[in-house]
Amino acid sequence: MRDLGAGFRYLLKGQRWVARHGRSYGFGLVPGLITLVLYAAVLVALALWGEDAVTWATPFADDWSSPWAGLFRGFLTAVLFALSLLLAVVTFTAVTLLIGQPFYENLSEKVDRDVSPDGHAPESGLPLWRELWISARDSLRIVARAALWGVLLFGCGFIPVVGQTVVPVVGVFVTGFFLTEELTAVALQRRSVELRTRLALLRSRKTLVWGFGAPLAAAFLVPFVAVFLMPGAVAGATLMARDLLDEETREDGEKGDQAATTLPRPPSGSPSPGR
């Protein structure tokens, strides 16, 4: 429970950081707005022409008697839209981070410099095209994992009672875990921490990750909220990444001669970052 609260505090600290750095916040909004417009266009298209697409894909139902063909195609249209909406929520962060890679790299570096006792921000040393390739490759792997969970949870949603109570809660925590992976990847990739090691780090501190990611996942269900929280989420994830790697952090980025404080250490046996 202690880590659960710590994870939520990182989310709040990230929002406070961007509130104090208005210019970084403004630039951080651009990728989210672009992604929101793209996703909204796709969902509107599905709402308008989804039924036509389902009708085209199910010619075998043309000869069914009424009302079975309509009910069957209506059900498939609803499933198509629901799965698309779920996929949009799960992939929103990945696509936004990919579109906004330069923006969020810059924001994350500023957070690192602000809170590091020596004012240093780790750098990957890789060219931009290489960073974009690694980010896209890892994002696809995470989206594939999240999609499998999404299909499983969607199927479980038809179980009476459990599907309407337990499954939505589990879905928020699962989505929160993958959101946190995507967000912490901005800072961890600059430290040359590979995907497998990142996942191991997050699994070793699940309650910390859930405390950060679950509230964010719930908020991201509202697209406009996701756009405005995204810059602060990247900032908070950078702070949490420093915790996961046991790096010294100046609390709230305060300057001066104040002694640096060390955030809680991961449990013994936690994996160390690797290339």
State mean pLDDT over 159-180.
Answer: 86
Distance CA 241, CA 157 (A): 33
pTM confidence score: 0.74
**Tens digit of each residue's pLDDT (9 = 90 or more) over 197-246:** 999 999 999 999 999 999 998 888 776 788 899 999 999 999 999 999 88
Query: Which pairs with CB-CB distance under 8 Å and at least 24 residues apart come from 162-170?
Result: none
Report the alpha-carbon distance of residue 259 to residue 10 in Å, rounded: 20
Give CA–CA dist 170/154, Å, rounded.
11
Cα–Cα distance measured from residue 117 to residue 248, given in angstroms and rounded to the nearest whole number: 7
Buried b / exposed e over 12-26, threshold 16 CB at 10 Å, is: ebbbebbeebeebbe
pLDDT number for residue 261:
39
Total residues belonging to the chain = 275
Q: What is the token pair recorded at 255? A: 């300057």
Determine the pLDDT at residue 251: 63
Look at residues 125, 42, 115, 142 and name the one whose alpha carbon lies nearest to residue 262.
Answer: 115
Is 192 a residue whose pLDDT tops 50? yes
Tokens of 101: 């890679």
Question: Which residue from 188, 196, 72 is spatially nearest to 131, judged by alpha carbons?
Answer: 188
> What are the structural domain ranges in the chain?
2-253
Cβ atoms 208, 240 nearer than 8 A:
yes
Task: State in Å, rounded, how far the first CA of the chain is from the last one.
Answer: 31
**Out of 90-94, 169-173, 203-207, least confident range:** 90-94
Distance CA 187, CA 167 (A): 31
Sequence letter at residue 79: V
Compute the average pLDDT of residues 55-67.
84
Percent of the chain with pLDDT over 90: 23
